Amino acid sequence: MSRKLEFFYDYGSPFSYLLDTQLPAFCERAGAELVYRPMLLGGVFKATGNRSPLQEPVESKRRYGMQTLRRWVEHYGVPFALNPHFPIHTLQLMRGAVAAQERGVFPAYHRAIFDAFWVQGEELGDAAIVARVLGRAGVDAGPLLEAAADPAVKERLRAHTDEATSRGAFGAPTLFVGPELFFGNDHLHFAEKALRA
């Protein structure tokens, strides 16, 4: 069994944010390598026929989803605020993640974008605000955002998204241990069992 934990995520997913706050310490405990795999959640939804929980037609289920989110925030004890600009189209942010991986600035980019989205409530659909957020994190936004527009970066994000769905992903966050899929932030216990197997 692989000792890698692959994390397919989208910055627009609040449960991806919550899981992200736990994964580094989790992987250290489990002796696993954490592999970040940015994907476009909208592309996953389109490919699978799934939809955002916000589009859930059963009102009581939508309310319960929000209650579940609040419970996990409290359980993890992490800062969190619903983004007043949500939903935000994340295509440029996810391309930026791929470009940040290639340019060696991913840790700073990743933390800055997740925190700006789900702690600070920034309007990350605005490129000027994204540039300001990255600047505060010490990332030179100009070259990075330019790299994010490179056709090769666009294709890599598309390939990550296609790979996720071909392996069975239908939403975010999705974890893989080898071929085994674990959906949501509430399946870490089972992912740990797979890593230790």
Q: Could you report the per-residue pLDDT of 63-122, keeping only the tens digit for each? A: 999 999 999 999 999 999 999 999 999 999 999 999 999 999 999 999 999 999 999 999
pLDDT bracket for residue 1 (50, 70, 90): very low
Which residues are CB-neighbours of 75 under 8 A, at least 6 positions away? none
Q: HSE (CB half, 13 Å, CA atoms) of 153? A: 21
Measured at the CA of 10, the angle between CA 6 and CA 13, to 5 degrees, comes to 115
DSSP state at residue 121: -
Looking at the predicted structure, is the pLDDT value of residue 162 above 60? yes
Structural domain count of the chain: 1
Residues 18-54: b if buried by 16+ CB within 10 A, e if exposed: bbbbebeebbeebebebebbbbbbbbbbebeeeeebe
Quote the pTM value.
0.95
Residue, of 194 and 2, whose pLDDT is higher: 194
For residue 93, what is the domain's CATH number? 3.40.30.10
Span 135-144, pLDDT tens digits: 999 999 999 9
Strands of 33-38's sheet, edge to edge? 33-38, 4-9, 174-177, 180-183
Determine the Cα angle at 117 with ends 112 and 120, to 5°.
Answer: 85
In the predicted model, is pLDDT for residue 54 greater than 80?
no
The torsion angles phi and psi of 98, rounded to 5 degrees, stand at -65, -45
pLDDT of residue 56: 84
- High-pLDDT (> 90) share of the chain, %: 94
pLDDT of residue 77: 98
Q: What is the percent of the chain with per-residue pLDDT over 70, rounded to a whole number?
A: 99
Interval 146-157 mean pLDDT: 97
> Does the pLDDT of residue 125 top 70, yes or no?
yes
Average pLDDT value for the chain: 96
Who wins on pLDDT, 56 or 146? 146
Mean pLDDT of 168-192: 96
Question: What is the domain range of residue 73?
Answer: 4-196
Task: Evaluate if residue 34 carries a pLDDT over 70.
Answer: yes
pLDDT tops 80 at residue 2 = no
Distance (Å, whole) CA 1 – CA 72: 29
3-class SS at 35?
strand
Find residue 176's DSSP bridge partners: 6, 181
CB 98 within 8 A of CB 153: yes
